């Protein structure tokens, strides 16, 4: 067992005739697992199954020492991802364009029954290098800055696991390198187990545990 981290065992997910199979995925506190594979390999489907957005057919998912899904015992924490305390950063970010940066992060806190304050939000923005941006709207920021806001929002809910779907895509090479370093630093500092999915081999540079996925099958990289 990974203990307070993330463990996925003997998982089978079927969506529209496409299947995702995971024998074992384990991520400890402060570790980053990078799952690299081509588009359409099933990486996002796996993240959604861990978050509770998609229900697997078979298998076990343990988050922070709690069994949140176990098919053969009919155990399911099924109010995703809030109930599972998962920080999920999707590819399309899902920031509210009419809300300020502060309001976007405060919204995530309230969803987890955390009382947002200016000090708390500023601390989180400082972690991602955006302190002083509280009153900006998402459309006033660069895409890289928007990604950092989305990351801050995911962290604001004090998650037990962080799931990042292509977090380094659609930004320039230099910004991508800086964001990789930033995420690696945050994961180590906060001790949150993290899963990053990517189609880019270079993103394996931040992996404590490298995996590959092809045609829905997860395997460890040597």
Confidence of residue 2 (pLDDT cuts 50, 70, 90): very low
Question: How far, CA to CA in Å, does 72 sit from each of 11, 56, 92, 201?
Answer: 12, 11, 34, 36
Lowest mean pLDDT among 7-21, 114-128, 208-222: 114-128
Report helix, strand or coil for 170: coil
What CATH number has the domain spanning 1-85+159-214? 3.40.50.300
How far apart are alpha carbons 85 and 65 in whole angstroms? 12
Give residue-wise pLDDT tens across range 123-149: 889 989 899 999 999 999 998 899 899
- Strands (E) across the chain are located at 6-15, 18-27, 32-36, 58-63, 66-70, 75-76, 86-89, 161-165, 194-198, 209-214, 217-220
- Amino acid 93: pLDDT: 87
What ranges do the domains of the chain cover? 1-85+159-214, 93-158
């Amino acid at each position: 067992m990974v203990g307070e981290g993330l463990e996925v065992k003997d998982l089978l997910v079927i969506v529209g005739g496409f299947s995702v199979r995971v024998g074992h995925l384990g991520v400890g506190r402060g570790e980053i697992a990078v799952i690299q594979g081509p588009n359409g390999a099933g990486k996002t489907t796996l993240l959604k199954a861990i978050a509770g957005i998609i229900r697997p057919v078979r298998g076990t998912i343990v988050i922070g020492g709690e069994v949140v899904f176990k098919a053969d015992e009919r155990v399911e924490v099924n109010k995703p991802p809030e109930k599972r305390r998962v920080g999920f950063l999707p590819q399309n970010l899902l920031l509210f364009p009419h809300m300020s940066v502060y309001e976007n992060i405060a919204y995530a806190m309230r969803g987890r029954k955390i009382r947002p304050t200016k000090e708390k939000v500023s601390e989180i923005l400082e972690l991602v290098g955006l302190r002083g941006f509280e009153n900006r709207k998402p459309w006033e920021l660069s895409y890289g800055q928007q990604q950092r806001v989305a990351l801050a929002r995911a962290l604001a809910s004090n998650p037990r696991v962080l799931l990042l779907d292509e977090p380094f895509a659609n930004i320039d090479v230099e910004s991508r390198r800086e964001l990789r370093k930033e995420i690696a630093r945050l994961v180590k500092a906060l001790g949150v187990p993290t899963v990053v999915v990517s189609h880019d081999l270079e993103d394996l540079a931040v992996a404590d545990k490298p995996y590959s996925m092809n045609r829905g099958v997860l395997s460890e990289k040597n």
